[in-house]
Amino acid sequence: MSIIRVNEAVKVFRQYRRFPGVIGSLRSLITREYTEHTAVNGISFEIREGESVGYLGTNGAGKSTMIKMMTGILVPTSGVLQVMGNTPHTSRKKNAQEIGVVFGQRSQLWWDLPVEDSFDLHKHIYKIENKRFHDNLNYCVEILGIQEFIHKPVRQLSLGQRMRVEIAMALLHEPRILFLDEPTIGLDLFAKDQIRNFLKKVNSERKVTIILTTHDLKDIEEICPRMIIVNKGDLVYDGKVSDLRTQIGNERKITIDFRHDIGNIDFPGTILVKDQGLRKTFVLERGKESAFEWVSKIAEKYPVEDVSLEDSDIESVIRTLYENLETTSINE
């Protein structure tokens, strides 16, 4: 069942042109010239309940605009956009009861108050009954490990602690959909892992639908099996992360441990990218030769101890996708 349905959604921003100088100011009063910018250009997709989806794109690609339309903050210029069967901008209050939102660079917390006071305020705003509130709070506190600083003022928390609290608060009213915008921005590796593990747990155990926008593609690999990628307002990919890697990831890394250092090695079709003596890492272009055949040839000549194979990481795959789009745009 689709919990979000977007059909040919368009969002055009109109900006009136201002002319410089005094005469220009007078001209601006009587002349209504304007420019238009299409942030979302006829995008369509559906998201089923319980899915975890990464919504990706470069800066200015229209990611935030789409999120704001799905949460009811912005009104589409045209097209159909429904969340849980409702039109978000006409059912904002009803919509808000069923969604949670976390923005990495904006806080919902009261800066000078203890964390628990912000939680309590959230309880009253959403009219959460006591048992439900405490059950959800205990669940988040235990898994996110926020008990030790729940009594501290928000201003005394580190960035990683604050983000864990932000996510906990967004889930206190049991939303069916959780929108996350850069939830791990600026965090250290340990804090990122805590948040990623929690989001995976919430998605699998509570079937919360997750819509994630991020520039940290490790978040996508860890949390979202599906990606929607936009570029300059257009939808350019909607599918599994694994399928995109198969379609575009044209390089594989092969790491070989030798019994003794064989020195410099030059094999056709490969590039030596790291030499650590006994351990050497090569890049093998996909399609030239199977990894098994290539390793077999190496093993015939040199004493191989161990071999590991790694496909292209998602960052290089996305980079290749955008490079292909740029090349196509130039050729056109």
Establish if 94 belongs to a structural domain: yes
Could you tell me the two tokens for 319?
A: 């980079």
The pLDDT value given to residue 22: 65
Q: Where residue 271 falls among pLDDT bands split at 50, 70, 90? A: confident
Residue 208 DSSP code: -
The pLDDT value given to residue 169: 93
Beta carbons within 8 Å of 141's beta carbon, 6+ residues apart? 147, 150, 168
The pLDDT value given to residue 311: 66
Residue type, 21: G
The pLDDT value given to residue 305: 87
Tokens 């965090």 belong to 187
Q: Where residue 286 falls among pLDDT bands split at 50, 70, 90? A: low
The 10s digit of each residue's pLDDT in 110-129 is: 888 999 999 999 999 999 99
Say if residue 216 is in the same domain as residue 260. no
End-of-domain residue from the set 245, 262, 291: 245
The 10s digit of each residue's pLDDT in 242-252 is: 888 777 765 67
The pLDDT value given to residue 324: 75
End-of-domain residue from the set 245, 270, 303: 245
pTM for this entry? 0.79
- Check pLDDT > 70 for residue 25: no
Q: Where residue 316 falls among pLDDT bands split at 50, 70, 90? A: confident
The pLDDT value given to residue 330: 47
46, 15, 20: which is closest to 226 by C-alpha?
A: 46
Establish if 25 belongs to a structural domain: no
Query: How many domains does the chain contain in total?
Result: 2
Range of the domain at 189: 49-245
CATH number at residue 288: 3.30.70.250
Say if residue 142 is in the same domain as residue 257. no
Establish if 159 belongs to a structural domain: yes
Establish if 14 belongs to a structural domain: no
Say if residue 210 is in the same domain as residue 285. no
CATH number at residue 102: 3.40.50.300
The 10s digit of each residue's pLDDT in 200-227 is: 999 999 999 999 998 888 888 889 999 9
Establish if 235 belongs to a structural domain: yes
Beta carbons within 8 Å of 20's beta carbon, 6+ residues apart? none
The pLDDT value given to residue 202: 94
